[in-house]
Amino acid sequence: MGRPELYLDAAATTPPLPAVLAVMQQLQQSAWANPSSLHGAGLAAAEALERARWCTADRFGVGADQLIVTSGATESVHLALLGSAAGLAPGRVVISAVEHPAVIAAAYQLEAQGWSVAEWPVDGQGVVRLDQLDQLLSAPTRLVSLTAAQGEVGALQPVIEVAQACRKRGIVIHSDATQLVPQGCFPFERLGVDLLTLSAHKFRGPRGVGLLIRAPGVALSPLQGGGGQEHGLRSGTEPVALVSGMAEALKALPSFDPVTHPVPPGSAVQIRRQRDQLLERLLELPQLRLCGPPLSGRLPHHIALLVKSADGMPLPGRDLVRRLAAAGVACSSGSACNSGSSSDSAALTAMGIPEPERQSGLRLTLGPWLSDQELDAVPGRFESVLGAFP
């Protein structure tokens, strides 16, 4: 107790950049008006909003009219799936077995509209099985949602290959890039999807704002009516300061091409090295085992572990998270967005992890706020916590 907290939970949320806070504070003072108003204060807000929109569009190589600002990835996912399905005849929607709960919820809402839902199975590393591609993309599949990077075990998914197959078959494909974008921006068209969603708070931007990016010609129907903002797809007065904070956070991310570099570079140059060094030291503890894909197929800041006691019994991840927090290490067990649940991890279940181990997962995700010296303290704190178990 009393040790300084080392925050290793970047996949859950990230501390906002000082530049983001500064931009937002300045705009709350100078551009607080409604950007739809035609007076001077409104025009100042509208100008700030459009500057942020164009800056954001530039980071993904798209037109500003391809962006729909939302409250975050959960809303974006629902607009992407429900909004695109509204213009299609009911058929089958395919989602991976390791999707975020928001994708699962949106997909199963379509059942009430006559759609069927199929889950794309994954292998033991959490990656979708491409040997199932032809079967799952056959009729009556009309809509696919495949996460770009799985948040719990860090698995990078073959989105480009699946997107190409969907395009050939006229299937609309959405990808949740909430965990991918924080490790680098990329040209939207290089991923090949029709719809892409993300949240700003995952890459050191503000909470309460996110994006849906759509390819030209992809039809969407709004989920709510109102003033017709965001091209009539997301009514409501735009949060100028939040959108500008998101644009500022995107400026700080590196760029990469997902075709030539399928593993993103990481939010800072030292991230991959720090992750690799930390993992090497953690795996010296016999109670810890790497879970998910090898480092070559994983997000560059991500470590997923399965934990057991000295006598080989799986240890409860939620209890470990509390004990590690008391020891000054902030991390997660399972998906942070589903952390209130004490049931087995859905992702680990889909991966075929034996039942006793499905609640023993830990996730450590690094950020550029961590120094080498701080990370050097993590294995010792782990060893202390694990040694306290009977």
Q: What is the residue range of 353's domain?
A: 6-15+263-387
Q: Does residue 62 carry a pLDDT above 70?
A: yes
Residues 119 and 224 occupy one common structural domain: yes
Query: Would 48 be classed as within a structural domain?
Result: yes
Residues 132 and 241 occupy one common structural domain: yes
Residues 111 and 143 occupy one common structural domain: yes
pLDDT tens column, 284-304: 999 999 999 999 999 999 999
pLDDT given for residue 346 in this prediction: 93
Q: Which of 157, 3, 177, 165 is nearest to 73 (CA)?
A: 177
Query: Would 1 be classed as within a structural domain?
Result: no
Task: Point out the domain boundary residue: 251, 280, 306.
Answer: 251
pLDDT given for residue 380 in this prediction: 96
Q: What is the DSSP letter of 354?
A: -
Query: Would 258 be classed as within a structural domain?
Result: no
Residues designated as active site:
337
What is the rounded average pLDDT for all residues in the chain?
95
Query: Would 287 be classed as within a structural domain?
Result: yes
Q: Are 357 and 314 in contact (CB under 8 A)?
A: yes
d(CA 204, CA 226): 30
pLDDT given for residue 24 in this prediction: 98
pLDDT given for residue 1 in this prediction: 46
pLDDT tens column, 308-335: 999 999 999 999 999 999 999 999 997 4
Residues 65 and 172 occupy one common structural domain: yes
pLDDT tens column, 266-284: 999 999 999 999 999 999 9
Query: Would 146 be classed as within a structural domain?
Result: yes
Residues 229 and 110 occupy one common structural domain: yes
pLDDT tens column, 16-41: 999 999 999 999 999 999 999 999 99
d(CA 104, CA 215): 23
pLDDT tens column, 329-358: 999 997 445 545 568 899 999 999 999 999
Containing 134, the helix (H) or strand (E) segment is: helix 133-136
- State the pLDDT confidence band at 3, using cuts at 50, 70 and 90: low
Query: Would 40 be classed as within a structural domain?
Result: yes
pLDDT given for residue 390 in this prediction: 73
pLDDT tens column, 217-233: 999 999 999 999 999 99
pLDDT given for residue 342 in this prediction: 60
**Residues for the chain: how many in total?**
390
Residues 334 and 363 occupy one common structural domain: yes
d(CA 270, CA 111): 45
pLDDT given for residue 389 in this prediction: 84
Q: Enter the tokens of residue 158.
A: 């073959």
For residue 253, the SS3 value is: coil
Task: Point out the domain boundary residue: 251, 273, 292.
Answer: 251
Query: Would 10 be classed as within a structural domain?
Result: yes
pLDDT tens column, 146-171: 999 999 999 999 999 999 999 999 99
pLDDT given for residue 186 in this prediction: 98
Beta bridge partners of 145: 95, 174
Residues 166 and 302 occupy one common structural domain: no
Query: What pTM does this model have?
Result: 0.95
pLDDT given for residue 335 in this prediction: 46
d(CA 240, CA 29): 11
Q: Does residue 2 carry a pLDDT above 70?
A: no
- State the pLDDT confidence band at 210, using cuts at 50, 70 and 90: very high
Residues 96 and 167 occupy one common structural domain: yes
The distance of Cα 380 from the centroid of its chain, to the nearest Å, equals 30
Q: Are 32 and 356 in contact (CB under 8 A)?
A: no
pLDDT given for residue 293 in this prediction: 97
Buried/exposed 142-177: b ≥16 CB within 10 Å, e otherwise: bbbbbbbbbbbbbbbbbbbebbebbeeeebbbbbbb
Residues 213 and 331 occupy one common structural domain: no
- What CATH number should be reported for the domain holding residue 324? 3.90.1150.10
Q: Give how many domains the chain has, as a whole number.
A: 2
Residues 223 and 268 occupy one common structural domain: no
Locate the DSSP E strands across the chain. Answer: 6-7, 67-70, 92-96, 116-120, 141-145, 172-176, 195-199, 210-214, 288-290, 302-307, 329-330, 361-365
Query: Would 256 be classed as within a structural domain?
Result: no
Task: Point out the domain boundary residue: 229, 251, 273.
Answer: 251
Beta bridge partners of 298: 155
Residues 184 and 62 occupy one common structural domain: yes
- What CATH number should be reported for the domain holding residue 103? 3.40.640.10
Residues 71 and 160 occupy one common structural domain: yes
